[in-house]
Amino acid sequence: MLLAFALSPLLVVAIGALLLMLAEAFSKVRTGLALGTVVVFFAGLALSASVWLYGLESIPGLEVLAPWLIIDRFSMFMNAVLCLGGGLAALLAGGYLPEHKIERGEFYSLLLFATLGAMMLSASGDFLTLFIGLETMSIGAYAMTAFRRTSARSAEGALKYFLLGSFAAAIMLYGFALLYGATGHTDLAGVGAGVKSGEHAPMVLIAMVLVLAGLVFKVSAVPFHMWTPDAYEGAPTPATTFMAVAVKSGAFAMLLRVMLTCFGDARSMSWSSGWPPVLAWIAVLTMTVANLIAGRQESVKRMLAYSSIAHAGYLLVGVVATMKNPAQGSASVLFYLLTYTVSTAGAFGALILCGRFGAEAVSYEDLAGIGRRHPAAALPFSLFLISLAGFPPTAGFFGKWFVFRAAMEGGFTWLTIIAFLNSVLGAYYYLRVLVFMYMREPAAGAPIATPMRSGYVNFALILSAFLVVVLGVSPSLSLDVAVKAAAAFGGGAG
């Protein structure tokens, strides 16, 4: 019974997805699906919190699930972040899909199943469950990207995402197969022990490169980022939110678990012969390239896509910091994921709010003058952009602060300086939105944007604005939670 309680966040999302799918298929009523989805997500969030408070130490029999599912504080934290991200995306979908006349019930089941995949991904301790979770998440995301059937842009974004996503999955799977051949295990801990023993070193090295390439693709870091802007721009905005928030969080959870468990031995984690320098250079490239290209965009949605690539770069800095101190580095990544989730979901939500049917707000020009005409829509947008840029007193500031501090204390001063310079560079294009909203007027003859009205979107914005401010004013509680969650990796090589 207690075991079911420990699994309840996963179970409630899985059962909720099945029930909503049946309800959509057999009932004539179309309203309430969005509400049901939101309720399921927030039930998952509440259950993760209660399992956390109950204490996983006092639940016997969790080792029965290992290595398939590892239910620890790390996966419980990720469950909460993913349910929050999924819940915000569901709220946005509840407003966006009816407004743009594309509401069909499948979207909500896809959203729930994809989140379930991401939750499974962050809890899996075996390549098999990891792969199933990854596919569940990705297939749902592909389908959601292609959701607007009449739009060639939506289909094209989905096609690029699907082709490159399957290619990356195949590369990663070949890495898994080689690791299985080299160590005889498919569970992460067993592979880690085999890698540590140093047998079959050349094969392990090739496998590490393949797995790393697949993982870096999934977190959409440069040079494997080409699909991201296209998929994000083509997808309906709630699906974009989901990809930017939940898919990225799930991928980072997978990255941390695989790298620290399979390749957590002293040799693989050293600067001279391991993965940290590779990830450090990828982080530098990701931040710089994404920030430079983001500044040249004319579409705000595409700018936010490049911004999410840049944030993957900052997160990779935190992953590199695990080299010296696994617990501190992963804690900073987890906390950053939380702040990034609320800021990004809020920014996409505000973008949704600024448009309506037939006149979706996409470009900077669409937003011109909206700050004076509709301050209630522009104000939360400004807050989320300031948080993404990393100014105090918002969540984004502390997210960056803890990642940079982990990198500094790990001895990566040069990397921290590059990351800091990049976040200054990033402020340019976030503030450019504010300039357009408050200091420009729409060009003569251009259509004047009016915000849509939706209780769902308003609620999503209020919720994420509340969290952005709370995390920005008193981050200590949630940071404490992130530190406890990351303690699972405290026993790394160091």
Partner 1 sequence: MITTNSYVLLSAILFTIGGIGFLVRRNVIVTLMSIEVMLNAVNLALVAFNRSMPKAHTGQLFAFFLIAAEAAEVAVGLAIVISIFRLRRSVRTDEADLLKN
Residues making contact with partner 1 (CB under 8 A): 127-128, 131-132, 135, 138-139, 142-143, 146, 149-153, 155-160, 162-163, 166-167, 169-171, 173-174, 176-178, 180-181, 184-186, 229-230, 233-234, 293, 296-297, 302
C-beta closer to partner 1: residue 126 or 366? 126
Tokens matching residue 69: 């599912």
**Least gap, CB of 185 to partner 1 (angstroms):** 8
**Least gap, CB of 145 to partner 1 (angstroms):** 8
**Least gap, CB of 191 to partner 1 (angstroms):** 12
**Least gap, CB of 419 to partner 1 (angstroms):** 24
C-beta closer to partner 1: residue 183 or 454? 183
**Least gap, CB of 8 to partner 1 (angstroms):** 25
Distance CA 67, CA 129 (A): 9
C-beta closer to partner 1: residue 134 or 219? 134
C-beta closer to partner 1: residue 164 or 251? 164
**Least gap, CB of 367 to partner 1 (angstroms):** 18
C-beta closer to partner 1: residue 135 or 409? 135
**Least gap, CB of 182 to partner 1 (angstroms):** 9
Instruction: Tell me if 110 sits within 8 A of 21, measured CB to CB.
Output: no
C-beta closer to partner 1: residue 180 or 391? 180
**Least gap, CB of 381 to partner 1 (angstroms):** 22
C-beta closer to partner 1: residue 29 or 152? 152
C-beta closer to partner 1: residue 72 or 233? 233
